[in-house]
Each structure stands twice: as C-alpha cells, then as structure tokens.
Amino acid sequence: MAERNGGTAVLPGSYDPMTMGHLDIIGRASGVFDHVIVGVVNQPVRKAKTLFSAEERVGFIRDATADLGNVQVKPFDTLLVDFAREHGAKAIVKGLRAISDFEYEFEMNQLNRKMAPDIESIYLMAAPQFSFLSSSGIKELAMFGGDISGLVPDAVAARLQEELKR
C-alpha cells in the first residue's frame, strides 16, 4: 500500500447505492491521504431522483467504512469545489471504470480546474473485479431478482431488496 502523503481529499458521488467498487476506491484513497471526506451529493443533477435519501446513503457508507479511521462521510448540495475548499481539501478523488467515465470526468475536471486551480483532481482506476459495477446496474439487477451479494455491502443489499419490493 502507498504511504500516506498528508492532506485531505474529497471523494464525491451520489452513492445510490454504494457498491463494493465505491468501497474499494474509498479504501485505496484512505491509504494515500491523511483525511478522506466522502461527499454524498444530496440531489444529483444527472439523476432524476435517488432511491435512497442522502441520510440513508451517508449511513451506508459510514457503516461500511467504520474500520477506516481517517474517513468521514458528509452530505453536500453545493459546488464540489466549494465543498472541497470548505473542508480544506487539496484533492478531489474519483474512480474511473471505462472510457465513458473518462469523457464525463474530463469535462468536469476542466470546469473544476477553471473554478479552483488549487484543487487537484486525481483518478483511481477501478479494480478489475469491480470495473463493471455501477449503481444503476446494481439497481436494475436487484429489480429483476438478480443476486447482488458481493457487489454491495450486505446492509445495502438488504435495504435495496426491501425498497424495490414496494
């Protein structure tokens, strides 16, 4: 594992729901930065409505990262760079799975860099076993009765199946 180089990083996302891929990126970032803040977007712009409330998504992540002493989880509904500055972050960390992620993230990086040239964007490649995982794919799989064990934390799997039965 890489040695921590100090500083604070923000890992933003909707986390609706959190996947093992998200947990992998959070864990890897926590090994590099002294302080990691998982920023849960209250109401994402790119998605119509979230399945879980921000509070519930924050709870899932707190439970799943309880063993990582340098990770905090907070909801936010401001510009990402404002959230990062508010918490003294010098880096925004995101995971990349595929070329489609890169195209979107490249555009966001340029906008963030324009607004906050002092905050660096850092991208971690998805671990191979999680490179196919997406929150929307998990919801679809669960909706049609697919097995999501091992793809999301157990508490998330239970709540997802409960929520989709309604």
Domain 8-164: which topology? Rossmann fold (3.40.50)
Among 12-21, 47-56, 140-149, top mean pLDDT goes to: 12-21
Gap between the Cα atoms of 61 and 146, Å rounded: 23
DSSP conformation class of 158? H
**Cα separation, 4 vs 32, whole angstroms:** 4
Report, as an integer, the average pLDDT of 15-40: 96
On whether the CB atoms of residues 92 and 84 are closer than 8 A, the answer is yes
Give the pLDDT confidence of 69-123 residue by residue, as tens digits: 999 999 999 999 999 999 999 999 999 988 778 888 888 999 999 999 999 999 9
Q: What is the pLDDT of residue 122?
A: 95
